[in-house]
Amino acid sequence: MEPNAYLAKVGIEIATKGHNCYKLSAPSMMDLTVESWHTDDSIMVSMCHYGEQNGDLMKDPDILFEVKGHKITYKEFQNDYTGYYSESHVVTKAFMENTWIPNLVGSQYKVIKRDMEN
């Protein structure tokens, strides 16, 4: 499943203008933060779990992708705990669509907070 389809399924419409931030929660799981913002011709979306280590927020993972029309381009994949960082569209797409999104669907995340900028 593509991330924009998953986000729509949980009630997040990334096409909403402005810089918007959503917090999602699921039982026994780390909260999920989703941010979306518009550039001149595309929508940028960040999806991230934040953990904490020695008082610092750690990304576990953080995925940045761009939506232009119906095309998704995966820009960055970062995991602070492992020190992993990639700008590979292919690697990030495989992780996002084959591992992370199915895990999120199975965890039954619900939006608990919305900060909308118009």
Q: For position 116, what pLDDT does the model report?
A: 86
| Domain map (residue ranges) of the chain | 3-108
pLDDT category at 58 given cuts 50, 70, 90 is confident
pLDDT category at 118 given cuts 50, 70, 90 is low
CA Rg value for the chain? 14
pLDDT single digits (tens) 67-94: 999 899 999 999 988 999 999 999 999 9
Reported as half-sphere exposure (CB side, CA atoms, 13 A), residue 97 has a value of: 14
Mean pLDDT of the chain: 93
Tokens matching residue 7? 């986000």
Q: For position 100, what pLDDT does the model report?
A: 95
- Give bridge partners of residue 24 from the DSSP assignment: 32, 111
Q: For position 72, what pLDDT does the model report?
A: 97
Q: For position 54, what pLDDT does the model report?
A: 86
Of residues 51 and 107, the one with the higher pLDDT is 107
Q: For position 50, what pLDDT does the model report?
A: 83
